[in-house]
Amino acid sequence: MAPADRRLHLFTGKGGVGKSTVVAATALAAAQAGRRPLIVELGHRATMGAIFDAPVGADPTPVAPGVHALNVDFHEALIDYVAEQTRVRALAKRIVASDALARFFAAAPAVSEVVTLRRLERLVDEEHRGRPRWDPVLVDLDATGHALMFLGLPDVFADLATRGPLAAFLRSLTALLSDRERTALDLVTLPDELPAHETRELHAAVVAQGHVPLGRLVINRMPPEPLSAATRARLPALAAAGMEAEVKLAERLEREHERALHIANELEEALGMPTVRLPELEPFGLATLAEALR
């Protein structure tokens, strides 16, 4: 299935490249196309409230026309998970609240990721009048390092249990993460050397893990074309008229633009992923980015 049509999208990339912005703009674009997008942010990285200027809580709430968002908090997701096992929510709350267990849960490797993933699975599976309740589910994952750990969970699971209900449970999470029909990992980057380099490394690591199917590459903040052909032709005349500072600035912008283009072209070619380029916006406007993503 084409990446854009898949139900679950995980977004990652280097810190500050515009992951949350791209998630928000993708949700707007999906809503405009008549879909029912749900943005999922992870508890400790709450940003959607600020982006949409609307409160975001533990349950899906509307943040823009046709767009819902929710915050998956580890503690709540853990209670949900334990409640699922015990079938009694009040009991689950007490189990999770007990000191010793709280310490255990906080220290056990991958508990946070497992319960988060389970919550995502339930959101993806949720139906309303025989149709998927949310489509697509867009997850604003952490920056690269933590995302890799999240994406590598199938390897962790494979060692944890091979039989019994836990194994079956973990298998279904692995199945969701690695499903080419349902899931896509979208990479967000900038047309700069460092982020482009990190994106190549991330791409190589994800390919080597071999679990999560890749979606789109989003190259965010492409600088605008600095000069029209007519202006460029006039530069010598401007220099002759003593406007050297302006000419130097124009030439610098031109060089930066060419460098960005070069980095973007090389990255796009190296990764071979379907690619979208989003412009650097000044002033910034989410709706304009959403249009570029459609």
Bond preceding residue 213 cis, omega within 30 of 0: no
Taking alpha carbons only, the member of 265, 290, 271 closest to residue 279 is: 290
CA dist 102 and 41 (Å) reads 23
The answer to whether 186 touches 11, Cβ cutoff 8 Å, is yes
Residue of 1, 5, 15, 175 that binds ligand ATP (CB under 6 A): 15
Residues interacting with Mg ion, by CB under 5 A?
19-20, 47
CA dist 253 and 225 (Å) reads 9
Residue of 221, 250, 264, 273 that binds ligand ATP (CB under 6 A): 221
Which of these ranges, 17-25, 156-164, 200-208, 268-276, lies near ligand ATP under the rule CB under 6 A?
17-25
Which of these ranges, 18-26, 58-66, 124-132, 197-205, lies near ligand ATP under the rule CB under 6 A?
18-26
Residue of 4, 38, 70, 278 that binds ligand ATP (CB under 6 A): 278
The answer to whether 113 touches 149, Cβ cutoff 8 Å, is yes
CA dist 41 and 205 (Å) reads 23
Give which of Mg ion, ligand ATP, none residue 182 binds (C-beta under 5 to 8 Å, depending on kind). none
Site for ligand ATP in 97-116 (CB under 6 A): none
CA dist 154 and 156 (Å) reads 5
Residue of 4, 8, 17, 40 that binds ligand ATP (CB under 6 A): 17
**DSSP code at position 3:** G
Per-residue binding letters, 22-51, with ligand ATP (x by CB under 6 A): -------------------------x----
* Smaller CB separation from Mg ion, 227 or 286: 286
Three-state DSSP class for residue 182: coil
Residue 42 backbone phi and psi in degrees, to 5: -90, 140
**DSSP code at position 110:** T
Residue nearest to Mg ion (CB): 20
What's the closest the beta carbon of residue 199 comes to ligand ATP, in angstroms? Answer: 12
Give which of Mg ion, ligand ATP, none residue 143 binds (C-beta under 5 to 8 Å, depending on kind). ligand ATP
What's the closest the beta carbon of residue 237 comes to Mg ion, in angstroms? Answer: 46
The answer to whether 72 touches 118, Cβ cutoff 8 Å, is no
* Smaller CB separation from Mg ion, 14 or 182: 14
Look at strands 183-189 and 38-42 and give their pairing.
Answer: unpaired
What's the closest the beta carbon of residue 16 comes to Mg ion, in angstroms? Answer: 8
Site for ligand ATP in 129-158 (CB under 6 A): 143
What's the closest the beta carbon of residue 194 comes to ligand ATP, in angstroms? Answer: 14
Residue 253 CB-density burial (10 A; 0-12 exposed, 13-18 middle, 19+ buried)? middle
Give which of Mg ion, ligand ATP, none residue 281 binds (C-beta under 5 to 8 Å, depending on kind). ligand ATP
The answer to whether 226 touches 218, Cβ cutoff 8 Å, is no
Binding site for ligand ATP (CB under 6 A): 15-21, 47, 143, 220-221, 278, 280-281, 284, 289
